[in-house]
Structure 1
Amino acid sequence: MDQLPRMLADRYEVGRLIGRGGMAQVYIAYDTRLSRTVAIKILRSDMATDDTFLARFRREAQSSAALNHPSIVAVYDTGEEEVETGTGKVTLPFIVMEYVNGQTVRDLLADGDPIPIDEAAHVAAGVLSALEYSHREGIIHRDIKPGNIMLTPDGSVKVMDFGIARALSDHHSTVTQTNTVVGTAQYLSPEQARGEVVDIRSDLYSAGCLLYEMLVGKPPFTGDSAVAVAYQHVSEVPTPPSTVTADIPDSIDRVVLKALAKNRDDRYQTAAAFRSDLLSAVRGQAVTAPATTAYVAPAPMATPIATTVFPTGQSVPSAVSAHTGNYPPYQTGQFPAQEKKSSNGWLWAIIVILLAVLGFVAWQVFGNDDPPEEPTPTITMVDVPNLEGLDQTEARTTLEDHNLELVIGEPVESDDVEEGLFVSSNPEIGTSVEEGSTVTVSFSSGVGEVTVPDVTGLNVDSARNLIEAEGLVWGTSDSVDNFPEYDEGEVVSSDPAADQQVPRGTQVNVQVSSGRVSIPNLLNMNIDIATAELDNLKLSYRIEYEETAEAEPDTVIAQDYREGSIVDTGTQITITVAEEPPATEDPTTEDPTPTEDPTTEDPTPTEDPTPDPTTEEPPPTEEPSPTEGE
């Protein structure tokens, strides 16, 4: 067993083993730099000296890293690490990937039951969406199968494992590389099984096999060996899904059988076309796939082919003899029959022998993912020790002293336990477990942060309930004036302010409106401005006018409350406003008499002050002086 270091690249803390495949093992890990959970795929040490597998592993990193799609598992980082093995130290490459918390489609199909049509179509549509993107980016997956499709709890579909992916520009991308078979027998396209160059339509065939298995509960072709299955892919027509699961409509049959056409020119030419037809079928709409009457089961091959014996002494039965060809009856119609020509018998024999060799190698490399069983050792039981108060280093040492292995669990927020110290374990402390077992330990991430809720406008009781519900502590509630927009008793602000991130348990103080305001200085203000100010303060007012020439008209010259006085909102304020006095007579000025307009003739005759000589009266007779005549 590989002795993996606990820390890869001084950054990734390796956790438990969560999966293994033909050439790699996958561990859950924690990225200490970015504080996130990841999955790390590490090449098996027994493959590390094989240049082919090294190249394939590195190609997976390159292919996956070049793809950025929600339905494709993302690659974050790559690297190499020196690992101690039973034969010495070896450098192993690793890939840091997105951690997908879910299950594979293989797990979903483990009991052999089909998946409901809508769910199967949803999964297939997600796979085809990922393939549409990867094909557009020039990458062929070449190993679409249930074990490479992840489903998350929210129903998302994630395609993974581009370990044998190839660029479209690689014209030598065939089923064989350095005499090994690439792919999984149940999902090989006919051209893959024949060792021909593959293209995007080979992925679509494999996706058709996946869809078939989800609808029916088993792959379209099964057999006792990889050889038998590969031969069926090349030469036999699959049974329509509806003959196995009765509730599958004809439109779904047509889509599946078109995807599984032997001739790639008869299949869907793009993942988008396949996906569109599938979704149309699920909705009950018309599809482009031909009617299923064109697909019927071929008659079983009558000519047996001898067993092939390999140099190891193992015998692989003939693909033909392994296949019975007994299909359930279904729609009538004729599949174009091929005439048997005795002159071609030797050619078929060579093809089958080659397929047998390729299938055997494929089974050796990919079909036996599980490691060989080892003899059951003597079981020694130990108790999980007390880890309280210990950090990761101390907990690991303590567990190793008891022959147990530490697996880092998800960090846990804790108000009581200091950050980095033990919080819980699985199995729990004191539980009796087998020696060598793993113990998943969670450590405190410290006090968690919460968002201060917005309590403005709420009354004190409602605000307190909301703050305490968020794990915060209710503090002081101070009464404040001059918040007329809030009624008495409503919260006007908080400290810390709303929407701030603070540690859980932080005290929150609030200010509460008193419902009172201070009187402003209104003197010399225009009446319109003064009343607007009072309206803003929710104060009523009464206006009195006073005639005065000492202030501008319409300006405030008096107010009954002094500036700064505190009053309840709604209080009436009396303000006095200057009014222009009426005009008065000046006693030193004579009232002017109207004068004649010299340009206007007065129609009324007036006395001429100049005496008329013709009418002059004689002067009066002068009386003698009294002294005269004496």
Structure 2
Amino acid sequence: MGTDRVLGGRYELRDVLGQGGMAVVHLGRDVLLERWVAVKVLRRDLARDPLFRSRFRREAQTVAGLNHPGIVSVHDVGEEHVAGSRADEPSVPFIVMEYVAGPSLRDLLREGPLALEESIRNQVGVLSALEFSHHAGVVHRDIKPANVMVTPDGGIKVVDFGIASVGGDPGATATEAHAFLGTAQYLPPEQVHGEVADARSDLYSAGCLLFEMLTGRPPFVGDDPVAVAYQHVHQDPPPASDYRSEVPPAMDTVLLTALAKDRNDRFQSARSFRETLRSAATGRHRGDDDSGDASCDVLPFHPSWHSTTTSTRSA
């Protein structure tokens, strides 16, 4: 699909921002409102498949119902016939979303682990977004660095709800090839077993995300997705401090809970994960100071955490 197309009579497609197994995301220009947008277009070869069309439509409906500053917003949806296609070919659906100008965490992690303060600040933002989506009955199921954007002012935007489950959908398992192969390094053990994901599954993936921000690598690596999935089920994660000495024991403990094999042994909510993380960052035990606002996204840090010796970035 060319980048000079206009969808819906108003969205000019420009450069390709990214692509996956189901769709291509373009930088777009809304000529009516004169603003930049991100336009996600279902792959043409999948447009005939009712399952993919339904999943694509569900993603738009899901994100449109999640009005939170940490979740990318949906502006519009539509369908368009591809130029030169046969009359009997189905139109290709597209979703017009908020454009996030900053990089993804995957982009940032290519430079190495993040500063400790930056890692925790990003994690707090992700957990705030997950707390909101979980309260709305939405499980993301694909939390990973590529699906977390960082805005120019340092904010967090969770993107790509393409395989999210809504309202405890009993068919929302990770046995589909695209879900398993695309997220093996961040896949909870229960999803490896083909069980239905819940909020605690997202928190396991978020634990993998925090581990990678702190160390520059996921907790489990292997030659192929099957080998990595096996480790998620059968092997204990290494302490993050094994790869980065500045990671304090309290943070290793947080990660140990987040990456528990049994979801009943993990944090039971994004709020609990966030509160414990903030306490670990300040060197306090939860309950030492009940005056703090647990919903606050401004994180104080221990002075000894201002180290840049093993990170190529500063907070």
Which TM-score applies when normalising by structure 2?
0.86
Matched length: 285
Q: 254-263 or 278-287, which moves further after superposition?
A: 278-287
Please state whether the residue corresponding to 1:84 is helix, strand or coil.
Answer: coil
Could you say which structure has the greater relative contact order, defined with CA pairs below 8 angstroms and 6 or more residues apart? 2
Structure 1 Cα separation of the partners of residues 7 and 36 of structure 2: 14
The 5 Å alignment of 1:130-529 reads: 130-177=129-176, 181-182=179-180, 184-287=183-286
Distance 1:96 1:180, change over 3 A: closer
Q: Answer yes or no: is the 8 Å Cα contact 1:143–1:184 preserved in 2.
A: yes
Cα deviation, 1:209-258, whole Å, max 9, x if unaligned, reads 00000001000000000000000001110001011101100000000110
Distance 1:283 1:231, change over 3 A: same
Give yes or no for the alignment of 1:98 onto 2:81. no
Structure 1 Cα separation of the partners of residues 151 and 144 of structure 2: 17
Partner residue, 2:69 = 70
Identity of matched residues, %: 54
Shift of 1:173: 2.0
Distance 1:190 1:87, change over 3 A: farther
Q: Which has the higher strand share?
A: 1
Structure 2 Cα separation of the partners of residues 57 and 240 of structure 1: 38
Structure 2 Cα separation of the partners of residues 215 and 86 of structure 1: 48
Distance 1:181 1:145, change over 3 A: closer
Partner residue, 1:407 = none
Please state whether the residue corresponding to 2:272 is helix, strand or coil.
Answer: helix
Please state whether the residue corresponding to 1:103 is helix, strand or coil.
Answer: coil
Matched residue type, 1:282? A
Which TM-score applies when normalising by structure 1?
0.44
| Bigger Cα Rg | 1
Distance 1:278 1:151, change over 3 A: same
Structure 1 Cα separation of the partners of residues 167 and 265 of structure 2: 20
Partner residue, 1:108 = 108
Q: 86-95 or 246-255, which moves further after superposition?
A: 86-95
Distance 1:85 1:141, change over 3 A: farther
Shift of 1:121: 0.4
Q: Answer yes or no: is the 8 Å Cα contact 1:45–1:90 preserved in 2.
A: no
Cα deviation, 1:296-332, whole Å, max 9, x if unaligned, reads xxxxxxxxxxxxxxxxxxxxxxxxxxxxxxxxxxxxx
Shift of 1:172: 3.0
Q: 76-85 or 271-280, which moves further after superposition?
A: 76-85
Please state whether the residue corresponding to 1:277 is helix, strand or coil.
Answer: helix
Structure 1 Cα separation of the partners of residues 194 and 168 of structure 2: 18
Structure 2 Cα separation of the partners of residues 263 and 209 of structure 1: 15
Please state whether the residue corresponding to 2:91 is helix, strand or coil.
Answer: strand
Q: Answer yes or no: is the 8 Å Cα contact 2:208–2:218 preserved in 1.
A: yes
CA-atom RMSD in angstroms: 1.8
Shift of 1:287: 5.0
Structure 2 Cα separation of the partners of residues 259 and 287 of structure 1: 16
Structure 2 Cα separation of the partners of residues 241 and 85 of structure 1: 54
Distance 1:247 1:143, change over 3 A: same
The 5 Å alignment of 1:25-64 reads: 25-64=24-63
The 5 Å alignment of 1:524-535 reads: none
Structure 1 Cα separation of the partners of residues 38 and 286 of structure 2: 40
Shift of 1:181: 4.1
Listed as ranges, the gaps of 5+ residues in structure 2 are 288-315
